[in-house]
Structure 1
Amino acid sequence: MTSYRSRRSLLRTLAAALALTLAAPLALPAAADAAEKTVRIGWLRGPNDLTLAKARGTLEKALAEKNVTVEWVGPFPAAAPAFEALNAGSIDITAGSSTSAVAALAARVPLVIFAYQKMSAAAEGIVVKKDSGIESLKDLTGKSVAVNRGGTGEYLLMRALEKNGVDPAGVTRVYLSPSDSGPSFVQGHVAAWATWDPFVAIAKKSYDARVLADGAAIGSDNAVVLVASRSFAEKDRPLLQTVFDVVKADNAWAIAHKDEAGAIWAEAMKIPADLGPEIGVNAAVPTTAVTAKDIAQIEAIADWYVASKIIPVRPDIAAGVVTLD
């Protein structure tokens, strides 16, 4: 009897031990997942806060304290392909222009805007060759202009023509990516190029160009925006806030150290170092959370896009914004 009870007790002990052994490995993946959380950031080779944070390593340091790693995806040549990657679920956060964000929201890309940086007038414009003979926007009639479809370039051109009473039907829009626009401009396939920094600075320095109209002359309401996928913003709001806090700190540093920031951007964009000071002055402007005034400005762009038949219907801009501290 004693032997039977001993065996039964032993079996119970073994069963309990086996249960603990089986349970232990099941708890490990959850802990590992928490330690290995990753935020995927699509970076553009442009003078924005994310590019600066990448170069300075500030995001990696801040997020490591929260057991989060940073995966940099890119570089993307412009916002449109970055937004495509976000739409495909390949990245969580990226940068772009408010004009490109309007086009993306109209195309139902599930993004939310969480930071806003009004572009300086000198950071965008329409450039022509110095010897082109084009002296005013009215001289673009009968000419071709390189723009990126639905983005900053197309917005700048169409806005400039409207403001100066030039019939847009008389100006040919040539849809090219930024990387293709430069060679096309240099080779004379287009008479002008509507673009933004660093391409404005590059065109002036390397392509014998001059600015026909800058952002102020065009009446541009454009801004640099930082966006996140809607699912990321909903599921990881505290993490998004941390990213924004780091971005604001980097932005404040850039404003206080424009030459150094310009040098960092020039190196990151692989452009001549002597363009750094100009890039620093043009790009180091305040980044803030999105305010009601900013939303109204983006809505004005969206309304104008609809009126200009660039997009068919105005998206709900307010629904595409998340307000952070």
Structure 2
Amino acid sequence: MSIILNRRSTLLMLAGSMLSACAGEGARGAGKLFVGDQRGGSRVVLQGAKRLDNIPYEIIWSQFPNAAPLLEALNAGAIDSGIGGDSAFIFAAGTNAKIKAIGAQATRGIGPVVLVRRDSPIRSLADLAGHKVATPRGSVSHNHVLAVLEAYGQPYDAVTFAFLSPFDGRAALQSGAVDAWAIWDPNAAMAEQEGARILPGKQDLVSGYALMFGREGAIAYKRGLLQDYHDRLMAGWDWSAKNRDAYADLMHKDTGLAIDILRIMQARADRVPARIDDMLIARQQETADRYLRAGVIDRKLDVRPLFDASFS
């Protein structure tokens, strides 16, 4: 059985979640798993892989527009699990979030990009200095811009950031309120169809993992449910990697995005289940160190304790 809540409903749950925590985890329902999702995300791949059948507990779904509010809900105790980008996770961890990564999906191919309007004088990533760039704060795209500045020997304050949601970033680029937009697919593919262009230059500078998260309290008190859900999600990610057209069709039905946009996204990158290993953790440490140098987080962060490989 599944129940779907929107973000407003989820945020209204926060106060109740904190109060029920005082009464013990059992008060929140040992047979219920509260899962955060994004459109076209976990529920879709589980549906495609037929892993929503015969679940011996109740999944209560909550929809979020991107990883940042999902991580906030996890940290507040409103949900038990969810997925999001690795850079957003490191940013959240830098603010003392009580969350661990318990699963991973690797992206190979095009990752975050920087787009400009068609008539922009900016010709490459080397030309970003002195311009205003929209991106979600702490996201993989924020990380990408910082890494680009490093790669071209430019200071982090060479650009002015406008920290905006994907929806607002798209509008800001279209209106001319910003000079560039750092974002990921399918947003990038949509912007291209609307006339924007991707800046060439040094790419593939940051890791591209989607992570499955577990709230520390859920790991302690709902481990069996989380383990079962983890295994189902890994099977779903495996299915989506091997059935791209079918996955694109399901995403189209769930998100309303044009099928050609989704097929562009599928063609530009491979997304496959990955293990939490030393290489993955080392890439996350690079992000944490970059965020510290750039002032995105304010303390040295050892990322290894943030990852729990035992679910694999």
Range of TM-score over shorter length: 0.7 to 0.9
Indicate yes or no: 2:64 matched with 1:72: no
The 8 Å contact of residues 59 and 70 in structure 1, kept in 2 or not, is answered as: no
Amino acid at match of 2:198: V
Question: Of the two, which has the highest radius of gyration?
Answer: 1
Between the aligned partners of 1:152 and 1:319, the Cα distance in structure 2 is 21
Amino acid at match of 1:45: R
Q: Alignment length, in residue pairs?
A: 285
Between the aligned partners of 1:289 and 1:138, the Cα distance in structure 2 is 34
Indicate yes or no: 2:127 matched with 1:142: no
Helix, strand or coil for the counterpart of 2:273?
Answer: coil
Between the aligned partners of 1:85 and 1:162, the Cα distance in structure 2 is 32
1:141 to partner: Cα distance: 2.2
Indicate yes or no: 2:97 matched with 1:109: yes
Amino acid at match of 2:195: D
Q: Aligned-pair RMSD on alpha carbons?
A: 2.2
Between the aligned partners of 1:162 and 1:315, the Cα distance in structure 2 is 20
The 8 Å contact of residues 261 and 280 in structure 1, kept in 2 or not, is answered as: no
Q: Structure 2: 5+ residue runs without aligned partners?
A: 1-26
Q: What's the TM-score, normalizing by structure 2?
A: 0.84
Deviation larger for 241-250 or 90-99: 241-250
- Corresponding residue of 2:140: 152
Indicate yes or no: 2:198 matched with 1:211: yes
1:283 to partner: Cα distance: 5.5
1:315 to partner: Cα distance: 2.8
- Corresponding residue of 1:303: 289
Please list every run of at least 4 consecutive aligned residues from structure 1 whose deviation after the TM superposition is greater than 6 angstroms. 33-36
Amino acid at match of 1:226: M
Deviations 1:87-145 (A, max 9, x none): 11111111111101001111111111011222233132111122212111232222111
The 8 Å contact of residues 159 and 220 in structure 1, kept in 2 or not, is answered as: yes
Between the aligned partners of 2:266 and 2:76, the Cα distance in structure 1 is 33
- Corresponding residue of 1:28: none
1:294 to partner: Cα distance: 1.0
Deviations 1:224-276 (A, max 9, x none): 11111011112222222211211121112111111111222233232112112
Deviations 1:20-53 (A, max 9, x none): xxxxxxxxxxxxx99981111110125x4x1423
Aligned positions of 1:137-286 closer than 5 A: 137-205=125-193, 207-213=194-200, 217-282=203-268, 284-286=270-272
The 8 Å contact of residues 108 and 208 in structure 2, kept in 1 or not, is answered as: no
The 8 Å contact of residues 100 and 216 in structure 2, kept in 1 or not, is answered as: yes
Amino acid at match of 2:284: I
Indicate yes or no: 2:39 matched with 1:53: no
Aligned positions of 1:83-102 closer than 5 A: 83-102=71-90
Structure with more of its chain in helix, by fraction: 1
% of aligned pairs identical?
25
Amino acid at match of 2:52: E
Between the aligned partners of 2:241 and 2:100, the Cα distance in structure 1 is 26
Between the aligned partners of 1:186 and 1:265, the Cα distance in structure 2 is 25
The 8 Å contact of residues 237 and 272 in structure 2, kept in 1 or not, is answered as: yes
- Corresponding residue of 1:13: none
Pick from 297, 302, 307 the counterpart of residue 321 of structure 1.
307
Amino acid at match of 1:60: L
Helix, strand or coil for the counterpart of 1:285?
Answer: strand
The 8 Å contact of residues 60 and 70 in structure 1, kept in 2 or not, is answered as: no
The 8 Å contact of residues 106 and 209 in structure 2, kept in 1 or not, is answered as: yes
The 8 Å contact of residues 96 and 225 in structure 1, kept in 2 or not, is answered as: yes
Helix, strand or coil for the counterpart of 1:42?
Answer: strand
- Corresponding residue of 1:124: 112
Between the aligned partners of 2:207 and 2:54, the Cα distance in structure 1 is 33
Alpha carbons of 1:256 and 1:203: their partners in 2 closer, same or farther (altered >3 Å)?
same
1:167 to partner: Cα distance: 3.2
Helix, strand or coil for the counterpart of 1:287?
Answer: strand
Q: What's the TM-score, normalizing by structure 1?
A: 0.81
Between the aligned partners of 1:251 and 1:41, the Cα distance in structure 2 is 16
Indicate yes or no: 2:28 matched with 1:39: no
Between the aligned partners of 2:268 and 2:249, the Cα distance in structure 1 is 13
